Structure 1
Amino acid sequence: MDTAVRDLADRHLPAVYEAGASAAATSLGTTFTWTSSHQHALRALRTDTYADLLRHSQQTVRRAGQFHRAVRVAARRQTPTALTGRTALQAAKTLADQLAAAHPLDRIVYRNGTRMPVRAWAEAAALARTTVAYNTGTLAVAREHGIQHIEVYDGSDCGWTSHPDPDKAARTLRTVDDAAQWPIAHPRCNRSFTLRPDTGHDPAE
């Protein structure tokens, strides 16, 4: 997992960031270059990615250690009595089921106790990080050129800070600073930004 996280942060995020920044620069009739401000923005993005994703990797290592200790304890305490009246295979299956239920290594556990399959979590995390990278590149170009507002493209039902937020995001005008706080609203979010140097008013007004 560490290798996959580093590959995402070191190879994919810079490419996606550059794609977002290049598209924004082209919309202004300019060309994107890796200035110090862009390098700083990318470093911050990569650091945040490392911290978030590697935290889950460390959680998995801790849980694997707990699982290993539980197996050793269970083997000492339960195996002699578990075999009574059953085959070794039946006893082993029962023990394995109990351990798997108590220590589900194929799940990521969130702070609120919610558990998500590792594959689904990894896909959502990678999509979220690449979307954030693309939008961060867009916003960095906005700052570079003194543009204060962007227009949001998102799902029609998607809220600004979360999917159920009543403040709907699509086709609204937001400040660059607000957009930097909410580059996405939820995992698998399709949010993107377009630079709006021409207006300081919400198009809906």
Structure 2
Amino acid sequence: MVQEGAEPARQAARSAAAILGQPFEWTAIHQDTVRALTTDTYSDMLRRTQEAVRTAGAFYRACRAAARHDLPLLAADRPRALAGARALADRLAATYRLDHVVYRGGTRMPVRAWAEAALLTRAAVASNAGTLAVAREHGISHVEVSDGYDCGWTSHPDPDKAVRTLRTVEDAAEWPISHPRCTRAFGLRPDAEGM
């Protein structure tokens, strides 16, 4: 049985023999050469794959550490979240030399955009959770939604537009944002009781 990848080697050997004006026959020497190349290539690919897995693992651990340390600090200060996201992205890109994060479906996202979306999302969720906690603490049942004019309640294209609507605290807790980078914020409406 001829090994996979042997055909290009066979054609190259046939061409070399033709240049010399010699007959060509696929022999054990040729098969051994292909076997050695295959083994060497496999070993090289395995090393490169292991290095990629090691780098990805280190990047994953760095992201988790950032999530534990940086995200809560930045989420508490929503206006500074974007600058913090850029600093995090720059640090991760410089340390791991990765310029894209690849999602499960194969979508490639630049590291900076990924970090900005992650931090802005967490900052918005944290800020809104704080507002809703105060609402619950003081028995306020409704909040007014501040959001982009085109932003839907459950997703950006949702026809139920969120901006300037009154929502119950429970509904707001279920949908603190509708998409990454969402600018949604809640304002307390104690005057809306019974509406």
TM bin, normalised by shorter chain, reads 0.5 to 0.7
C-alpha distance in structure 1 between counterparts of 2:161 and 2:193, whole Å = 19
Gaps of 5+ in 1: 18-56, 58-63, 65-103
> Which aligned segments of 4 or more residues in structure 1 are displaced greater than 3 angstroms?
none
After superposition, give the CA deviation of every residue in 1:126-159 in whole Å (9 maximum; x if it has no partner): 1111111111100000011111110100111110
Gaps of 5+ in 2: 1-61, 79-91
Write the letter of the residue equivalent to 2:178.
A
Aligned residue-pair number: 117
Structure 1 residue 12 corresponds to structure 2 residue 41: no
Q: Is the 8 A contact 2:144 2:189 kept in 1?
A: yes
Q: Which of 119, 130, 153 is the equivalent residue of 2:123?
A: 130
Q: Aligned-pair RMSD on alpha carbons?
A: 2.5
Write the letter of the residue equivalent to 1:127.
L
Structure 1 residue 197 corresponds to structure 2 residue 190: yes
Q: Which of 87, 98, 106 is the equivalent residue of 1:113?
A: 106
C-alpha distance in structure 2 between counterparts of 1:201 and 1:152, whole Å = 18
Gap change, CA 1:134 and 1:10, over 3 Å in 2: closer
C-alpha distance in structure 2 between counterparts of 1:105 and 1:201, whole Å = 53
Larger radius of gyration: 2
Partner residue in 2 for 1:183? 176
What's the TM-score, normalizing by structure 2?
Answer: 0.53
Q: Which has the higher contact order (CA 8 A, sep 6+)?
A: 1
**Residue 190 of structure 1: SS of its match in structure 2?**
coil
Q: What's the % identity of the aligned pairs?
A: 66
C-alpha distance in structure 1 between counterparts of 2:167 and 2:102, whole Å = 34
C-alpha distance in structure 1 between counterparts of 2:162 and 2:142, whole Å = 14
Structure 1 residue 171 corresponds to structure 2 residue 171: no
Partner residue in 2 for 1:77? none
What's the TM-score, normalizing by structure 1?
Answer: 0.51
**Residue 174 of structure 1: SS of its match in structure 2?**
strand
Gap change, CA 1:108 and 1:201, over 3 Å in 2: farther
Gap change, CA 1:200 and 1:160, over 3 Å in 2: same
Write the letter of the residue equivalent to 1:182.
W
